[in-house]
């Protein structure tokens, strides 16, 4: 058993800044992340002054980092069972901060299982990891503010952006642009991306009908208004905004909505001593995540002056997040063909799922959500397509070694 004043789940910008701020106030902190290094998706492969400073702050003797570590179960008496690459540990906390981030919402379309079809952020991650993109033709399609920075990133790394197909209507996008005018820094950032993408075709009211190819994606059919047309490409990057990772909060019994962990203005969840920050609290972006990291540290340490300062900053950032959420809601797409795969892990099609009454029935009868991703892709998709709510979250929360499962059973014999 290892005991800490505060355990933070997630070493993205929110978790990193929370750890630093807590350690600076004398708290013993454990920082857990399943990636090999801190930074999250947004700072993966980024090495500038901001990221160097944030990573350097984690070298405090009061911060213990657990990288490549997964939370397998949340247990009674404020304990977590975690699995590292070589072992399993039981961790005890006085306070728990959930900074588990978000993942892309990927909605099925004919051909989306072909090699060369990725999430928007997924393609960026592959390029950051060293995948060559120079000269490759890329179509980016879907909705959400992630489209613009990723398109700019890919172009600066040599990709040929064939087109950007945004599903939202022009009036909705214009309203969002007018809202950004209230925040000069955000507006300047958006204009910077637009400048980097001069010459790239941008189409609103557009969506992907189907992706073609045999062994690899070779083209994509776009519906734009009343017209359809085919584009040749090497990669198709799809995404319909982001959804928060809620499973750890739900396993603890925290109240959640489909888009956020429910919290007070001071970041407390409905479970005592458990807090949520960053994208897990609702998609808010980098600046909001950093501000909430500092706020949660001030709240836990009962620093009233700092709490008031950071609370005001968070409220400003959350107003921007509200505008993002209102603008980039996933639209209703045309009906899927019966043979379109919905659950990629288990090859379960839309035709097999469309008459199922709920998620649990689909799991029992069709194995939807029973593959390696444990429903993290198809779960959100089926919620959007069929209106299903999530099933109860039970341990193990991630695939685990037999030895870890044996330890879980020894600690909690009733865990399934």
Cβ-contact 253, 247 below 8 angstroms = no
What is the architecture, at CATH level 2, of domain 2-103+243-326? 3-Layer(bba) Sandwich (3.50)
Span 177-196, average pLDDT: 90
> What percent of the chain lies above the pLDDT cut of 90?
81
Q: Share the mean pLDDT of the chain.
A: 93
pLDDT given for residue 329 in this prediction: 86
pLDDT tens, position by position, 346-357: 999 999 999 999
Given CATH 3.40.50.720, say whether it is the number of domain 106-240: no
Question: Does the pLDDT value for residue 84 go beyond 70?
Answer: yes
| pLDDT class of 48 with cuts at 50, 70, 90 | confident
Higher pLDDT, 237 or 335: 237
Q: Name the band, by pLDDT with cuts 50, 70 and 90, for residue 47.
A: confident
| Average of per-residue pLDDT across 183-206 | 93
What is the pTM assigned to this prediction? 0.93
When pLDDT is averaged across residues 40-58 and rounded to a whole number, the result is 89
pLDDT per residue as tens digits for the range 217-250? 999 999 998 899 999 999 999 999 999 999 999 9
**Which has the closest alpha carbon to 198: 156, 230, 235?**
156
Q: In this structure, how many other beta carbons lie within 10 angstroms of the beta carbon of residue 416?
A: 9
- The model's confidence at residue 134, banded by pLDDT at 50, 70 and 90, is very high
> Per-residue confidence at 133, pLDDT binned at 50, 70, 90?
very high
| Domain spans in the chain, listed from the N-terminal domain onward | 2-103+243-326, 106-240, 341-386
pLDDT, position 415: 62
Please tell me the predicted confidence (pLDDT) of residue 37.
93
One fold for 2-103+243-326 and 106-240: yes
| pLDDT classification of 416: cutoffs 50, 70, 90 | low
pLDDT digits (tens, 9 = 90+) for 391-414: 778 889 988 999 999 999 998 876
The C-alpha atoms of residue 101 and residue 25 are separated, in whole angstroms, by 24
């Amino acid at each position: 058993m290892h005991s800490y004043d505060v355990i933070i789940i997630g070493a993205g910008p929110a978790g990193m800044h929370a750890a630093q701020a807590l350690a600076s106030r004398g708290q013993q902190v454990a920082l857990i992340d399943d990636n090999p290094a801190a930074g999250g998706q947004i700072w993966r492969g980024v090495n500038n002054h901001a990221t160097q400073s944030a990573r350097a702050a984690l070298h405090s003797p009061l911060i213990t980092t657990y990288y490549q570590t997964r939370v397998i179960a949340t247990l009674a008496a404020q304990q977590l069972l975690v699995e590292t690459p070589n072992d399993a540990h039981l961790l005890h906390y006085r306070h728990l901060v959930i900074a588990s981030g978000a993942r892309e919402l990927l909605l099925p379309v004919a051909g989306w299982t072909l090699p060369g079809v990725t999430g928007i952020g997924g393609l960026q991650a592959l390029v950051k990891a060293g995948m060559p993109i120079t000269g490759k033709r890329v179509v980016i399609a879907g909705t959400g503010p992630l489209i613009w920075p990723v398109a700019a990133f890919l172009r600066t790394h040599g990709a040929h952006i064939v087109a950007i197909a945004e599903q939202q209507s022009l009036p909705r996008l214009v309203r969002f642009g007018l809202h950004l005018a209230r925040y000069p820094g955000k507006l300047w950032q958006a204009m910077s991306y637009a400048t980097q993408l001069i010459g790239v075709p941008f189409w609103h009211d557009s969506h992907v009908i189907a992706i073609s190819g045999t062994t690899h994606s070779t083209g994509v059919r776009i519906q734009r208004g009343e017209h359809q047309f085919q584009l040749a490409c090497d990669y198709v990057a799809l995404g319909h905004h982001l959804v928060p990772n809620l499973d750890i909060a739900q396993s603890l019994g925290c109240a959640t909505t489909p888009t956020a962990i429910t919290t007070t203005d001071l970041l407390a969840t409905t479970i005592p001593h458990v807090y949520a920050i960053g994208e897990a609290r609702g998609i808010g972006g980098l600046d909001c995540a950093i501000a909430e990291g500092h706020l949660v540290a001030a709240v836990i340490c009962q620093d009233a002056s700092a709490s008031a300062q950071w609370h005001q900053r968070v409220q400003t950032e959350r107003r921007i997040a509200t505008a993002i959420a209102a603008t980039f809601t996933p639209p209703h797409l045309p009906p899927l063909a019966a043979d379109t795969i919905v659950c990629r892990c288990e090859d379960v099609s839309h035709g097999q799922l469309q008459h199922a009454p709920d998620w649990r029935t689909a799991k029992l009868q069709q194995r939807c959500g029973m593959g390696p991703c444990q429903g993290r892709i198809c779960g959100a998709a089926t919620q959007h397509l069929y209106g299903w709510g999530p099933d109860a979250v039970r341990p193990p929360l991630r695939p685990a070694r037999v030895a870890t499962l044996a330890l879980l059973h020894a600690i909690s014999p009733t865990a399934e």
